[in-house]
Amino acid sequence: MRRRAMLGLPAFGWAQETVIRVDVKLIRVLASVRNGDGQLVGGLSREDFRVLDEGVEQEIAVFERSTTQPLSVALMLDVSASVAREIRYETEAALRFARALFREGNPEDSLALLSFNHNVDLLAGFTRRLPRLESAMKGLRTGSGTALYDAMVLASEELEGRPGRKVIALVSDGGDTASRRRFHDANVAVQRAQAAVYPIIVVPVANDPGRNVGGENAMQLIAERSGGRVLQPASYEKLSGSFEEILLDLRTQYLLAYYPRNLSGKRNQFHRIEVQLRRPGLRVAARSGYYEETL
């Protein structure tokens, strides 16, 4: 958005018009609201929300309830050796998710498919063509290692700059074991892309011994900071239920947008966002901030 300012210069007895152009970009924040029982809450109004940027309350310029802005979903499938026997469940659930996404949503919704083991492969760029996705999934090959952070960085780079809402949905059975990138790199890439992350973690064992608890905690932190959440189905056979929960989240999101005001700071600074609710007993999930250079 461009704004123009008029300055009068009376010293010469006349007013000279000087045009100053200041770029003020709209910051979009997607929010999901739940009650104490964990159920999604719809029907809230603009007045029920407060948005703070670096602790400074902002005016909500755009508000949409159950927003239908187009979705770009980067779907990441773990094809490491530990999940080799479960590939069929992964692909079947992923295709059901894609069909539901395209059937029920905005006609501009699209999905990209990535796989990861020790390598990361972009199998299909953003598309609405189910045959293309089906063909890509037939070519999945398992391998050793889990380059989860590398895959998240690539998915974020594919999402960055795309219009509308952006989501990373991933299926894995544990933490990263093979990436050149680190947790910080993945977290920053997600924030720059302004994507919500929904990890579906299928825990191979119930007890802590043998589990990558550190990897699970890392995914929990990335998801919370992005405004997404972790889902933990009991088995790969239950994956479709997790995908259905993600779709329900996406169909009931609120869009809150504002033009940053009364802020000072350096370029490239990370701005912390806090979304609050005026109604007690409710909790909100929204991304934790943005990098100024990506406005």
Domain contains 7: no
Helix (H, G, I), strand (E, B) or coil at 54: coil
Q: Is the pLDDT of residue 140 over 50?
A: yes
164: domain range?
71-251
- Comparing CA positions, the residue from 232, 245, 191 lying closest to residue 32 is 245
Alpha helices by DSSP H, the chain: 87-104, 130-138, 148-159, 183-193, 213-226, 239-251
Helix (H) or strand (E) holding 249: helix 239-251
Average pLDDT over residues 132-139: 93
Domain contains 128: yes
Domain contains 139: yes
Phi, psi of 244 (to 5 degrees): -65, -40
In whole angstroms, what is the distance from residue 157 CA to residue 140 CA? 22
User: Are 198 and 223 in contact, with CB atoms under 8 Å apart?
Assistant: yes
If asked whether residues 95 and 110 sit together in one domain, one would say yes
pLDDT band at 82 (very low <50, low <70, confident <90, very high): confident
User: Are 80 and 266 in contact, with CB atoms under 8 Å apart?
Assistant: no
Burial label, 122 (beta-carbon count in 10 A; 0-12, 13-18, 19+): middle
Q: Is the pLDDT of residue 53 over 50?
A: yes
Q: What is the pLDDT of residue 139?
A: 81
Helix (H, G, I), strand (E, B) or coil at 106: coil
In whole angstroms, what is the distance from residue 63 CA to residue 58 CA? 13
Q: What is the pLDDT of residues 237-274, one digit of tens each?
A: 999 999 999 999 999 999 999 999 998 765 658 899 99
Domain contains 229: yes
If asked whether residues 116 and 177 sit together in one domain, one would say yes
Helix (H, G, I), strand (E, B) or coil at 68: coil
pLDDT band at 83 (very low <50, low <70, confident <90, very high): confident
If asked whether residues 88 and 225 sit together in one domain, one would say yes
Domain contains 13: no
**pTM for the model:** 0.87
If asked whether residues 84 and 54 sit together in one domain, one would say no
If asked whether residues 148 and 247 sit together in one domain, one would say yes
DSSP 192-227: HHT-EEEEEE--S-SSSTTS-HHHHHHHHHHHHHHT
Domain contains 34: yes
If asked whether residues 111 and 229 sit together in one domain, one would say yes
Parallel, antiparallel, or unpaired: how do β-strands 56-58 and 289-291 relate? unpaired
If asked whether residues 127 and 212 sit together in one domain, one would say yes
Tokens of 288: 């934790």
Q: What is the pLDDT of residues 185-213, one digit of tens each?
A: 999 999 999 999 999 999 765 555 556 68
If asked whether residues 164 and 280 sit together in one domain, one would say no
In whole angstroms, what is the distance from residue 182 CA to residue 233 CA? 26
In whole angstroms, what is the distance from residue 156 CA to residue 167 CA? 9
If asked whether residues 97 and 222 sit together in one domain, one would say yes
Q: What is the pLDDT of residue 106?
A: 93
If asked whether residues 116 and 238 sit together in one domain, one would say yes
Nearest-5° Cα angle at 85, 81 to 86? 100
User: Are 111 and 47 in contact, with CB atoms under 8 Å apart?
Assistant: no
Nearest-5° Cα angle at 142, 78 to 221? 20
What lies within 8 Å, CB to CB, of 218 at 6+ separation is 175, 176, 183
Q: What is the pLDDT of residues 38-51, one digit of tens each?
A: 999 999 999 999 99
Domain contains 122: yes
If asked whether residues 172 and 241 sit together in one domain, one would say yes
Domain contains 199: yes
Give the position of tokens 């539901």.
100
Mean pLDDT in the chain?
Answer: 88
Tokens of 280: 């007690």
Helix (H) or strand (E) holding 186: helix 183-193
The tally of domains found in the chain comes to 2
If asked whether residues 267 and 228 sit together in one domain, one would say no
- Comparing CA positions, the residue from 21, 19, 38, 57 lying closest to residue 276 is 57
Neighbouring C-beta atoms of residue 46, cutoff 10 Å: 13
